[in-house]
Amino acid sequence: MNANPILLQKKYARVVVLFAEENHLSLDDALAFFYKSKVYELMREGSSDMHCMSEQYLSKDLMEEYGMKNEMSGYEK
């Protein structure tokens, strides 16, 4: 199922803001990570109706992905 592009952009914005706030990141850093993430890819493709999930759920998934990438790179916040 494909989401309305305008509504999807607004959803991205809400997820990024929540992700930035919860991880004490700048909006620029959060947005840069988001657009390289698997979460974004799945939302954009409409896979598993990810775009229908709540912002909190998507932000949590994004945080998990962020944590895994930081662990793999040896980077600590």
The structural domains of the chain, with segments of one domain joined by +, span: 5-73
Overall average pLDDT of the 14-39 stretch: 96
| pLDDT band for position 74 (cuts 50, 70, 90) | low
Note the pLDDT of residue 77.
Answer: 45
What radius of gyration do the chain's Cα atoms show? 12
Residue identified by tokens 């790179």 is 73
pTM of this prediction? 0.85
